[in-house]
A = this chain, B = another copy of it.
Amino acid sequence: MATMTLLKAINNALDQQLNNDKSVVLYGEDAGFEGGVFRVTAGLQKTHGKDRVFDTPISEAGIIGTAIGMASNGMRPVTEIQFSGFMFPGFNQMAVHMARMRNRSRGKYNLPIVVRMPYGGGVRALEHHSESLETLFAHIPGLKLVIPSTPYDAKGLMTAAIKDNDPVIYFEPKKIYRAFKQEVPEEEYEVEIGKARTVQEGSDITVVSWGAMLHETMKAIKELGDDISVELIDLRTIAPMDSDAVVESVKKTGRLLVVHEAVKTLGIGSELISRVNEGAFFHLEAQPTRLTSPDITVPLPKGERHHIVDAPRIKQEIEKVAYFE
């Protein structure tokens, strides 16, 4: 065991998989020599060589498109998009090819690709550096999307993502890259993709969140004290969504609050609410609720406070839903 930040845990998983499997390669803009703008991949080029860990031109379509070609020809590419807000030029490749090649070729070509991208706001960044674009990926059949909220999960999910024979989008909550440390095994392990994690059990209300927002939610729950018994679920895999875990929990608690950074309309909350309706309608004691950013563009830093969801507001919303009669 070693204690690691979330960032370090990702780096550790990458290093390990580059070591264990020669078909793993890693690339992205500035991801090689300097180890990425956040230094997530620091040291990996030095250890694994310029052929397997390298910088690319500014070409998101190229990064994803070549990963598709590489994977078709036997590699397991781990690619980096510098910020999720810059994924759009590569979205064509992800939506029309990466998600479909297995189906299109009836299994002749499958694409074990990982697409890493830092995401999320609250870091006083420039435009396009704070987006939460889960929906755009989770809506596309054939893609998987995971988001770790702890160093342990970060390593385990990354390991599982690299070993997965389907493409996995891996969102990195940049706000908590270095926020705290956790014990993380040095040896290889996987966190199963597709399984949510129950952070704490409870009986009054089910609260679902993920990524950096999970920590804001945990702060809120701490503030609540013992008045309300919260079952907190870290969704962790956004697609394919472990809605069963959420539905089962709501069957027990009768109440649901989803908290996320992405905008309200068609955010992941809408799908969870729908699935809870479908699976636990008669258990509902209050309307399933979501607390999200509003349907506006992420403001530049001086306006960000109007946009972001914070612990006091989450606390208030948990109370509202839990006490609703």
Contacts and interface: CB of A to CB of B under 8 A. Distances in A.
A268 B274 CA distance: 11
A134 to B, nearest CB: 9
B103 A95 contact: no
Given A92-B91, A297-B99, A139 B266 contact: yes
B88 A95 contact: yes
Contact of A88 (B92, B270, B271, B274): B92
A290 interface: yes
Contacts of A104: 127, 297
Which of A99, A104, A139, A263 gathers the greatest number of chain B CB atoms within 10 Å? A139
A277 B287 contact: yes
Interface in A67-94: 85, 88-89, 91-92
A295 interface: yes
Given A91-B92, A92-B88, A139-B266, A281 B277 contact: no
A321 to B, nearest CB: 12
A295 B288 CA distance: 23
Given A92-B88, A296-B103, A273 B277 contact: yes
Interface residues of A, number: 43
Interface string A88-121: 1101100110011001100000000000000000
Which of A91, A104, A141 gathers the greatest number of chain B CB atoms within 10 Å? A141
Contacts of A270: 266, 270-271, 273-274
Contact of A296 (B85, B141, B274, B277): B141
Nearest to A266: B139
A88 B61 CA distance: 11
A269 B265 contact: no
Contacts of A7: none
A226 interface: no
A92 B94 CA distance: 13
Contact of A96 (B88, B266, B288): B88
A311 B273 CA distance: 27
Contacts of A187: none
A167 interface: no
A122 interface: no
A11 interface: no
Interface of A: 85, 88-89, 91-92, 95-96, 99-100, 103-104, 127-128, 135-136, 138-139, 141-142, 239, 241, 263, 265-271, 273-274, 277-278, 281, 284, 286-290, 295-297
